[in-house]
Amino acid sequence: MSAISETAFAKVNLALHVRGRLPDGRHRLETLFAFCEDGDELEFEPADDISLDIQGVDPAEIGGDNLVLRAAYALRAATGTQQGAAIRLTKRLPIAAGVGGGSADAAAALRALVRLWSVDPALVGDIAPKLGADVPACLLSMTCRGDGAGDVVSVVQEPDLAGTPILLVNPAVRLSTGDVFAHWDGNDCGPLGDWRLGRNDLQAPALQLVPQISEVLAWLHSRPGGNFVRMSGSGATCFGLFDDAASRDRAAAAVPSGWWHLATRLR
Protein backbone atom coordinates (compact mmCIF):
# COMPACT_ATOMS: atom_id res chain seq x y z
CA MET A 1 0.00 0.00 0.00
CA SER A 2 1.21 3.52 -0.78
CA ALA A 3 1.43 6.28 1.81
CA ILE A 4 -1.75 7.23 3.63
CA SER A 5 -2.63 10.20 5.84
CA GLU A 6 -4.90 10.68 8.83
CA THR A 7 -6.06 13.70 10.81
CA ALA A 8 -5.92 13.61 14.59
CA PHE A 9 -9.06 15.66 15.18
CA ALA A 10 -8.94 18.14 18.06
CA LYS A 11 -11.19 17.17 20.97
CA VAL A 12 -13.32 19.49 23.09
CA ASN A 13 -15.34 18.66 26.17
CA LEU A 14 -18.64 20.45 25.83
CA ALA A 15 -19.25 19.54 29.47
CA LEU A 16 -17.21 17.59 32.01
CA HIS A 17 -18.64 16.51 35.37
CA VAL A 18 -16.38 14.84 37.93
CA ARG A 19 -18.61 12.57 40.02
CA GLY A 20 -16.14 10.84 42.33
CA ARG A 21 -13.66 7.99 42.27
CA LEU A 22 -13.71 4.60 40.57
CA PRO A 23 -12.58 1.46 42.41
CA ASP A 24 -9.23 1.62 40.57
CA GLY A 25 -8.61 5.13 41.89
CA ARG A 26 -9.29 7.02 38.68
CA HIS A 27 -11.84 9.81 38.65
CA ARG A 28 -15.38 8.95 37.59
CA LEU A 29 -16.46 11.29 34.83
CA GLU A 30 -19.51 12.17 32.80
CA THR A 31 -18.55 14.17 29.74
CA LEU A 32 -19.73 15.06 26.27
CA PHE A 33 -16.98 14.95 23.66
CA ALA A 34 -17.14 16.82 20.37
CA PHE A 35 -14.49 16.94 17.67
CA CYS A 36 -13.18 19.62 15.34
CA GLU A 37 -12.52 19.23 11.64
CA ASP A 38 -8.82 20.05 12.13
CA GLY A 39 -5.96 18.86 14.29
CA ASP A 40 -2.55 17.26 14.05
CA GLU A 41 -1.68 15.54 10.76
CA LEU A 42 -0.06 12.12 10.39
CA GLU A 43 1.41 10.37 7.35
CA PHE A 44 2.24 6.67 7.14
CA GLU A 45 4.41 4.76 4.67
CA PRO A 46 5.20 1.03 4.60
CA ALA A 47 8.58 0.21 6.16
CA ASP A 48 10.49 -2.68 7.67
CA ASP A 49 10.33 -1.22 11.18
CA ILE A 50 8.34 1.39 13.10
CA SER A 51 9.74 4.92 13.21
CA LEU A 52 8.39 8.37 14.04
CA ASP A 53 9.43 11.77 12.69
CA ILE A 54 7.90 14.74 14.51
CA GLN A 55 7.46 18.10 12.79
CA GLY A 56 6.20 21.41 14.14
CA VAL A 57 7.60 21.00 17.64
CA ASP A 58 10.84 19.89 19.26
CA PRO A 59 10.48 16.10 19.73
CA ALA A 60 12.02 16.47 23.18
CA GLU A 61 8.94 18.45 24.21
CA ILE A 62 6.77 15.38 23.63
CA GLY A 63 9.13 12.93 25.29
CA GLY A 64 10.29 9.43 24.46
CA ASP A 65 7.11 7.69 25.60
CA ASN A 66 5.11 8.89 22.61
CA LEU A 67 1.52 7.64 22.31
CA VAL A 68 1.81 7.24 18.54
CA LEU A 69 4.68 4.77 18.95
CA ARG A 70 2.89 3.01 21.81
CA ALA A 71 -0.20 2.62 19.62
CA ALA A 72 1.82 1.28 16.71
CA TYR A 73 3.73 -1.27 18.77
CA ALA A 74 0.57 -2.37 20.60
CA LEU A 75 -1.30 -2.95 17.35
CA ARG A 76 1.61 -4.83 15.82
CA ALA A 77 1.85 -7.06 18.91
CA ALA A 78 -1.90 -7.70 18.94
CA THR A 79 -2.01 -8.68 15.26
CA GLY A 80 1.25 -10.55 15.07
CA THR A 81 2.16 -8.73 11.88
CA GLN A 82 5.82 -8.19 11.04
CA GLN A 83 5.08 -5.02 9.09
CA GLY A 84 6.40 -1.62 10.06
CA ALA A 85 5.61 1.98 9.26
CA ALA A 86 7.51 5.23 8.77
CA ILE A 87 5.28 7.75 10.53
CA ARG A 88 5.44 11.52 10.24
CA LEU A 89 3.54 13.55 12.82
CA THR A 90 2.97 17.25 12.14
CA LYS A 91 1.89 18.94 15.36
CA ARG A 92 -0.68 21.71 15.05
CA LEU A 93 -2.24 21.36 18.49
CA PRO A 94 -0.45 22.53 21.63
CA ILE A 95 0.90 19.98 24.08
CA ALA A 96 -0.82 19.45 27.48
CA ALA A 97 -3.69 21.71 26.45
CA GLY A 98 -6.95 19.82 27.09
CA VAL A 99 -7.75 19.20 23.42
CA GLY A 100 -6.65 15.57 23.27
CA GLY A 101 -3.51 16.11 21.21
CA GLY A 102 -1.61 12.98 22.25
CA SER A 103 -4.76 10.86 22.55
CA ALA A 104 -5.99 12.01 19.15
CA ASP A 105 -2.58 11.24 17.63
CA ALA A 106 -2.68 7.70 19.06
CA ALA A 107 -6.22 7.17 17.81
CA ALA A 108 -5.30 8.43 14.35
CA ALA A 109 -2.34 6.05 14.30
CA LEU A 110 -4.60 3.10 15.12
CA ARG A 111 -7.10 4.05 12.39
CA ALA A 112 -4.36 4.50 9.80
CA LEU A 113 -2.29 1.43 10.65
CA VAL A 114 -5.32 -0.84 10.43
CA ARG A 115 -5.58 0.26 6.81
CA LEU A 116 -1.85 0.27 6.09
CA TRP A 117 -1.31 -3.22 7.49
CA SER A 118 -4.72 -4.64 6.43
CA VAL A 119 -5.38 -6.04 9.91
CA ASP A 120 -8.58 -6.66 11.87
CA PRO A 121 -10.01 -3.26 12.95
CA ALA A 122 -11.85 -4.90 15.87
CA LEU A 123 -8.54 -5.18 17.73
CA VAL A 124 -8.21 -1.44 18.25
CA GLY A 125 -11.17 -1.45 20.64
CA ASP A 126 -9.10 -3.32 23.22
CA ILE A 127 -5.94 -1.30 22.62
CA ALA A 128 -7.42 2.22 22.79
CA PRO A 129 -8.39 2.40 26.50
CA LYS A 130 -5.00 1.02 27.54
CA LEU A 131 -3.33 4.02 25.88
CA GLY A 132 -5.39 6.66 27.71
CA ALA A 133 -8.89 7.49 28.90
CA ASP A 134 -9.58 9.87 25.97
CA VAL A 135 -8.31 7.51 23.26
CA PRO A 136 -11.58 5.54 22.78
CA ALA A 137 -13.49 8.78 22.15
CA CYS A 138 -10.74 10.06 19.86
CA LEU A 139 -10.87 6.76 17.98
CA LEU A 140 -14.50 7.53 17.09
CA SER A 141 -13.87 11.27 16.63
CA MET A 142 -17.59 11.96 16.65
CA THR A 143 -19.90 13.46 19.24
CA CYS A 144 -20.13 10.97 22.08
CA ARG A 145 -20.71 10.69 25.79
CA GLY A 146 -17.92 9.43 28.02
CA ASP A 147 -18.56 7.62 31.29
CA GLY A 148 -16.32 5.66 33.62
CA ALA A 149 -12.99 7.48 33.44
CA GLY A 150 -14.21 8.95 30.16
CA ASP A 151 -13.23 5.74 28.36
CA VAL A 152 -16.71 4.15 28.22
CA VAL A 153 -18.12 5.90 25.18
CA SER A 154 -21.49 5.95 23.46
CA VAL A 155 -22.39 7.93 20.35
CA VAL A 156 -24.78 10.83 20.94
CA GLN A 157 -26.99 12.33 18.26
CA GLU A 158 -26.49 16.10 18.28
CA PRO A 159 -27.17 16.95 14.62
CA ASP A 160 -27.19 20.70 15.24
CA LEU A 161 -23.52 20.61 16.29
CA ALA A 162 -22.07 19.50 12.95
CA GLY A 163 -20.58 22.45 11.10
CA THR A 164 -20.76 24.79 14.11
CA PRO A 165 -17.98 27.42 13.89
CA ILE A 166 -15.62 27.12 16.84
CA LEU A 167 -12.56 29.03 18.00
CA LEU A 168 -10.02 27.32 20.27
CA VAL A 169 -7.78 29.64 22.30
CA ASN A 170 -4.91 28.77 24.63
CA PRO A 171 -2.84 31.29 26.64
CA ALA A 172 0.32 29.42 25.59
CA VAL A 173 0.61 27.74 28.99
CA ARG A 174 0.90 23.99 29.46
CA LEU A 175 -1.17 22.36 32.15
CA SER A 176 -0.70 18.87 33.58
CA THR A 177 -3.91 16.85 33.71
CA GLY A 178 -2.68 15.10 36.84
CA ASP A 179 -2.03 18.40 38.59
CA VAL A 180 -5.51 19.67 37.76
CA PHE A 181 -7.23 16.54 39.06
CA ALA A 182 -5.09 16.74 42.20
CA HIS A 183 -6.59 20.19 42.88
CA TRP A 184 -10.22 19.09 42.36
CA ASP A 185 -12.17 19.77 45.57
CA GLY A 186 -13.84 16.35 45.66
CA ASN A 187 -17.40 17.70 45.57
CA ASP A 188 -19.94 15.92 43.35
CA CYS A 189 -22.10 18.71 41.94
CA GLY A 190 -24.50 16.42 40.10
CA PRO A 191 -24.97 14.43 36.88
CA LEU A 192 -24.61 15.56 33.31
CA GLY A 193 -27.82 16.34 31.49
CA ASP A 194 -28.13 19.13 28.91
CA TRP A 195 -24.50 19.99 28.10
CA ARG A 196 -25.29 23.68 27.69
CA LEU A 197 -26.54 23.75 31.27
CA GLY A 198 -23.65 21.65 32.49
CA ARG A 199 -20.20 22.46 33.82
CA ASN A 200 -16.53 21.76 33.54
CA ASP A 201 -15.65 20.72 37.06
CA LEU A 202 -11.95 20.99 36.25
CA GLN A 203 -12.17 24.68 35.43
CA ALA A 204 -11.86 25.87 39.04
CA PRO A 205 -8.76 23.79 39.84
CA ALA A 206 -7.23 24.72 36.49
CA LEU A 207 -7.71 28.40 37.31
CA GLN A 208 -5.79 27.90 40.55
CA LEU A 209 -2.81 26.70 38.52
CA VAL A 210 -3.15 28.96 35.46
CA PRO A 211 -5.01 32.20 36.31
CA GLN A 212 -4.63 33.33 32.68
CA ILE A 213 -7.50 30.98 31.80
CA SER A 214 -9.90 33.55 33.26
CA GLU A 215 -8.56 36.13 30.80
CA VAL A 216 -9.16 33.77 27.87
CA LEU A 217 -12.71 32.99 29.02
CA ALA A 218 -13.53 36.67 29.51
CA TRP A 219 -12.10 37.53 26.10
CA LEU A 220 -14.16 34.81 24.39
CA HIS A 221 -17.30 35.93 26.21
CA SER A 222 -16.78 39.44 24.84
CA ARG A 223 -16.67 38.37 21.18
CA PRO A 224 -19.68 39.40 19.06
CA GLY A 225 -21.48 36.44 17.56
CA GLY A 226 -20.32 34.01 20.23
CA ASN A 227 -23.04 31.95 21.88
CA PHE A 228 -21.21 29.51 24.17
CA VAL A 229 -17.88 29.57 26.01
CA ARG A 230 -16.18 26.95 28.18
CA MET A 231 -12.79 25.49 29.06
CA SER A 232 -12.02 22.13 27.43
CA GLY A 233 -10.86 19.11 29.40
CA SER A 234 -8.26 19.93 32.03
CA GLY A 235 -7.29 23.15 30.20
CA ALA A 236 -5.76 25.49 29.53
CA THR A 237 -7.48 25.65 26.12
CA CYS A 238 -10.88 27.32 26.05
CA PHE A 239 -13.36 27.47 23.19
CA GLY A 240 -16.18 29.58 21.89
CA LEU A 241 -19.01 28.47 19.63
CA PHE A 242 -20.19 31.09 17.15
CA ASP A 243 -23.36 31.90 15.26
CA ASP A 244 -21.53 31.98 11.94
CA ALA A 245 -18.08 31.62 10.41
CA ALA A 246 -17.72 35.35 9.80
CA SER A 247 -18.09 36.12 13.53
CA ARG A 248 -15.62 33.37 14.39
CA ASP A 249 -13.10 34.64 11.86
CA ARG A 250 -13.33 38.20 13.16
CA ALA A 251 -12.67 36.85 16.64
CA ALA A 252 -9.74 34.78 15.38
CA ALA A 253 -8.21 37.84 13.76
CA ALA A 254 -8.37 39.65 17.09
CA VAL A 255 -6.80 36.96 19.30
CA PRO A 256 -4.20 38.66 21.50
CA SER A 257 -0.58 38.25 20.49
CA GLY A 258 1.11 35.32 22.19
CA TRP A 259 -2.02 33.21 22.51
CA TRP A 260 -2.41 30.08 20.39
CA HIS A 261 -5.67 29.71 18.48
CA LEU A 262 -7.39 27.53 15.91
CA ALA A 263 -10.46 28.58 13.92
CA THR A 264 -12.35 25.54 12.69
CA ARG A 265 -15.74 23.79 12.76
CA LEU A 266 -17.22 20.90 14.69
CA ARG A 267 -17.52 17.63 12.79
Give strand pairing partners of 86.
45, 51
Which of the residues are catalytic? 11, 134
Say what the alpha-carbon torsion angle 197, 200, 204, 208 is, to the nearest 10 degrees: -150
Distance CA 127, CA 113 (A): 13
